[in-house]
Structure formats: structure tokens, C-alpha cells
């Protein structure tokens, strides 16, 4: 895109994978409601091993969570996972999930 200006942030995971996050600085995009239930609104989810520990650690560092981890069971009674949401940079929602098998 001619004249585009991007801000790029690369996150390296513990297993040496990389996640690329891109913000278009120019041209300016249109502001949308960033609630996770908004059609077209995005968020990124991370699978974690100990959601309560991660929540506690990030909260101590100033992370602002929507709520503490909530444990959910599938409608069929199978599967159980913990979920919590953190308001990240530029109000993008970060979801954290721990799956118990």
C-alpha cells in the first residue's frame, strides 16, 4: 500500500515460535468497538499451562483483567478449561486459556 507506515512488534514464544503484531499507523483505520462479541473485532488467544499463576503474575505487574480465571465445562460434560481476558495494547483483548484433559 503506497505511503503505508506500520508499527511491527514480534513476540518470541518459549518454544522459539514468533508472533507478529502489526499496527497501521498510516493510513489511519476506522475505530471499531473492540468487545470480543463484536463482529469483525479481533483478539488473540494464548494457551497457558497454569492460568491462575499467569493471572496472578500479570496482575502484580499491572495487568488489567476483565475478571479472574473462570472454569468452564463443555455442554456434553466433557472437557474443562479456564479462561480469562486481559486488556492489552491499543485496547486489543488478550485471551488466556488453560485446558484440562
> Under CATH, which number does the domain 31-100 receive?
3.10.180.10
pLDDT for residue 65: 93
Distance of alpha carbon 5 from alpha carbon 25, whole angstroms: 5
pLDDT of 34 strictly over 70: no
Q: What is the pTM of this model?
A: 0.64
Q: Are 68 and 49 in contact (CB under 8 A)?
A: no
Tens of pLDDT, residues 40-93: 666 788 889 999 999 999 999 999 998 899 998 877 777 788 999 998 777 778
Distance of alpha carbon 27 from alpha carbon 66, whole angstroms: 31
pLDDT for residue 25: 84
pLDDT for residue 84: 93
User: Who contacts 1 (Cβ-Cβ below 8 Å, separation ≥6)?
Assistant: 27
Distance of alpha carbon 10 from alpha carbon 25, whole angstroms: 16
Amino acid at each position: 500500500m503506497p505511503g503505508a507506515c506500520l508499527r511491527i512488534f514480534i513476540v518470541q514464544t518459549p518454544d522459539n515460535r514468533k508472533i507478529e503484531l502489526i499496527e497501521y499507523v498510516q493510513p489511519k483505520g476506522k475505530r471499531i468497538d473492540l468487545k470480543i462479541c463484536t463482529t469483525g473485532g479481533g483478539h488473540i488467544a494464548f494457551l497457558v499451562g497454569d492460568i491462575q499463576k499467569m493471572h496472578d503474575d500479570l496482575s502484580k505487574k499491572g495487568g488489567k483483567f476483565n475478571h479472574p480465571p473462570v472454569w468452564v465445562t463443555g455442554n456434553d460434560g466433557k472437557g474443562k478449561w479456564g479462561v480469562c481476558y486481559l486488556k492489552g495494547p491499543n485496547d486489543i483483548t488478550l485471551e488466556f486459556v488453560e485446558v484440562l484433559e
